[in-house]
Amino acid sequence: MSFDLTARLAQRRADDLYRQRPLLESPQGPEVVIDGRRMLAFCSNDYLGLASHPEVIAALRAGAERWGVGGGASHLVNGHCGPHHDLELALAEFTGRPRALLFSTGYMANLGTVTALVGKGDSVLEDRLNHASLLDAGLLSGARFSRYLHNDAASLAARLTRSEGSTLVVTDGVFSMDGDLADLPSLCAAARKQGAWVMVDDAHGFGLLGANGGGIVEHFGLGADDVPVLVGTLGKAFGTAGAFVAGSEELIETLIQFARPYIYTTSQPPAVACATLKSLELLRREHWRRKHLNSLIARFRSGAEAIGLRLMDSPTPIQPILIGGSRQALALSAELRERGILVGAIRPPTVPAGTARLRVTLSALHSEAQVDRLLVALAESWQRVSSSLLAEIDAEEGDDA
Ligand SMILES: *Cc1c(COP(=O)(O)O)cnc(C)c1O
């Protein structure tokens, strides 16, 4: 058999699932230049607006002067630099765990952690809406892999009674495409009853949830007994790059010994760790960012509900508008784009079939006026898309008759 890439790509287009990469020609911020055009953007994960913060940039620059650019080697050879070490200490302190381990990306942190903890003869139970990196990790581990109903502790408990070997329960903290929070108190209780460990990937919670930005575990007041394996990523609210796992001394030593995506890769540039140390300091000090963001979230939700849009149960800056079909989601995104507003359409397989959506994300750097502009554009665009949708349905019914 030969490769028929032409047919695969054509099918992808026919399914309205073809992906394209918009070209960003400016730094991240509320206003960006994309594909040559200045747009008001509501789609980045730079929730606190730290990606282009002058102090974070200065820390990166100073880090490069002091440490050079490349990490030069893997952590176990001689690429484990001072700033990586300092950042690990700071993240352990921030999360209140004995230790933290820095990974180059969140994808790698998840692959490395799950595969180091469970293997053949063990079990891994995952929320069915978990991030792709967690699902991939579960499959790669070779452990018995099973997905429970979204955020459903009873569904998890039923699977736990049938699990074998060491059992790891894995969930997003904040679900990346829905914006809702994992019901950790119930999930952790169910896991604990069966002696299973819970791993939480709080990529979208760190910096945002909890009085001090400590994420979903701070929000619910959960400790290391409840969540022995805590993952955070640094490319979102921290505005830099990389990820970390926080936990016990033994957990971290186990990952250093056995997590292949940790061992067999070059350490991240040490200057990036310098930048993250600065953004951690800002995120802990500047509470106004979270406060302003929360008021924007409330403003957006009440405005969108007034227009009649279908929102999801999200208290976070991830505010998806549920549309259903991929074509309609793309049409709405295109209408907004014509009005100078950028919001991504999220389609299967990233989300379940029939649940295509616009994923609006808010940032602490957005103003109230910018959120209002989004709402006005959404009202106009939604009216156009929904009326052409109705016309289409009428036409189809006419055909049938
Ligand atoms: C973005 C994301 C990741 C991947 O992190 P990267 O550092 O971008 O590789 C992992 N888990 C979740 C839930 C995410 O949203």
- Preceding amide of 352 cis, omega within 30: no
Known binding-site residue numbers for pyridoxal 5'-phosphate: 106-107, 176, 204, 233
Average of per-residue pLDDT across 61-65: 98
- Domain 22-47+287-400 in CATH 3.90.1150.10: yes
Distance, in Å, from the CA atom of 337 to the CA atom of 325, rounded to the nearest integer, reads 18
Domain ranges of the chain: 22-47+287-400, 54-285
User: Facing residues of 254 across strands?
Assistant: none
Q: How confident is the model at residue 399 (pLDDT cuts 50, 70, 90)?
A: low
Distance, in Å, from the CA atom of 98 to the CA atom of 245, rounded to the nearest integer, reads 11
Distance, in Å, from the CA atom of 333 to the CA atom of 283, rounded to the nearest integer, reads 31
Q: What percent of the chain has pLDDT over 90?
A: 92
Could you read off the pLDDT of 96-121 as tens digits, one per residue?
999 999 999 999 999 999 999 999 99
Residues with CB under 6 A from ligand 1: 105-107, 110, 131, 133, 172, 176, 201, 203-204, 233, 235, 243
Can you give the chain as a three-state secondary structure string? CCCCHHHHHHHHHHCCCCCCCCCECCCCCCEEEECCEEEEECCCCCCCCCCCCHHHHHHHHHHHHHHCCCCCCEHHHHHCCHHHHHHHHHHHHHHCCCEEEEECCHHHHHHHHHHHHCCCCCEEEEECCCCHHHHHHHHHHCCEEEEECCCCHHHHHHHHHCCCCCEEEEEECECCCCCCECCHHHHHHHHHHCCCEEEEECCCCCCCCCCCCCCHHHHHCCCCCCCCEEEEECCCCCCCCCEEEEECHHHHHHHHHHCHHHHCCECCCHHHHHHHHHHHHHHHHCCHHHHHHHHHHHHHHHHHHHHCCCECCCCCCEEEEEEECHHHHHHHHHHHHHCCEECEEECCCCCCCCCEEEEEECCCCCCHHHHHHHHHHHHHHHHHHHHHHHHHHHHHHHHHC
Cβ distance 340 to 38 under 8 Å? yes
**CA nearest neighbour of 360 among 183, 373, 22:** 373
Q: CA torsion, points 374, 375, 379, 382, in degrees to nearest 10?
A: 60
Asked if 22-47+287-400 and 54-285 have one fold, the answer is no
Q: Six-digit token pair at 92?
A: 């352990």
- The reported pLDDT for the residue numbered 389 is 73
Tokens 């957006």 sit on residue: 300
Identity of the residue numbered 118: V
Provide the phi-psi class of 68: left if phi over 0, else alpha when psi is between -120 and 50, else beta: left
Q: How confident is the model at residue 141 (pLDDT cuts 50, 70, 90)?
A: very high
Could you read off the pLDDT of 201-245 as tens digits, one per residue?
999 999 999 999 999 999 999 999 999 999 999 999 999 999 999
Q: How confident is the model at residue 136 (pLDDT cuts 50, 70, 90)?
A: very high
* Catalytic site residue from 236, 278, 292, 366: 236
User: Facing residues of 42 across strands?
Assistant: none
Distance, in Å, from the CA atom of 341 to the CA atom of 73, rounded to the nearest integer, reads 42
Distance, in Å, from the CA atom of 3 to the CA atom of 146, rounded to the nearest integer, reads 32
- The reported pLDDT for the residue numbered 16 is 84
- The reported pLDDT for the residue numbered 391 is 73
Average of per-residue pLDDT across 161-184: 97
Q: Is 75 among the catalytic positions?
A: no
Q: How confident is the model at residue 277 (pLDDT cuts 50, 70, 90)?
A: very high
Q: Which of 44, 104, 107, 359 to mutate to test the pocket of ligand 1 (most atoms within 8 A of CB)?
A: 107
Cβ distance 127 to 170 under 8 Å? yes
Could you read off the pLDDT of 316-356 as tens digits, one per residue?
999 999 999 999 999 999 999 999 999 999 999 889 999 99
Q: Looking at ligand 1, which atom is closest to the CA of residue 235?
A: 7
Q: Whose CA is nearest to atom 4 of ligand 1?
A: 106
* Catalytic site residue from 53, 75, 84, 204: 204
The architecture (CATH level 2) of 54-285 comes to 3-Layer(aba) Sandwich (3.40)
Q: Is 120 among the catalytic positions?
A: no
Q: How confident is the model at residue 397 (pLDDT cuts 50, 70, 90)?
A: low
Q: Whose CA is nearest to atom 5 of ligand 1?
A: 106
Q: Is 236 among the catalytic positions?
A: yes
Distance 376 CA to ligand 1 centre (A): 31
**CA nearest neighbour of 316 among 171, 227, 213:** 213
Q: Whose CA is nearest to atom 7 of ligand 1?
A: 106
